[in-house]
Amino acid sequence: MNSLFGKITMTIGVLAACMSLIFWNTYKGRLALDIFSTMTPDQAFGFTKLFAAFAFITVLVLFVMFLGRDRSKD
């Protein structure tokens, strides 16, 4: 996996796995909330999209922090 395609594929796979992990953990916790019984289906769907966006932004921030770390330490 030394090719550019391999590196890109691995990066996308890791980002997708991290986003899935964050989304699944928040999704499990929010299913137990009582607020969903008072929401319409459209509101619940919007809330789910919000959590997906939150997971995506969190993974992007973590990725940028990973790229910005100091690699010159020996």
Per-residue pLDDT, 44: 82
Whether 37 is covered by a domain: the verdict is yes
Q: Which uninterrupted H or E stretch holds 15?
A: helix 4-31
Query: Does some domain include residue 74?
Result: no
The answer to the question of residue 56 being in a domain is: yes
Give the pLDDT confidence score for residue 72 in this predicted structure: 60
Q: What is the pLDDT of residue 31?
A: 67
Check residue 4 and give its pLDDT: 76
User: Is residue 72 in a domain?
Assistant: no
Q: What is the pLDDT of residue 52?
A: 79
Running along the chain, 74 residues long, what does each successive block of 10 average in pLDDT? 75 81 72 78 85 80 76 58
> How many CB atoms are closer than 10 A to CB 6?
10
The domain total for the chain is 1
Note whether residue 73 is domain-resident. Answer: no
Closest C-alpha to 20, from 9, 28, 32, 30: 28
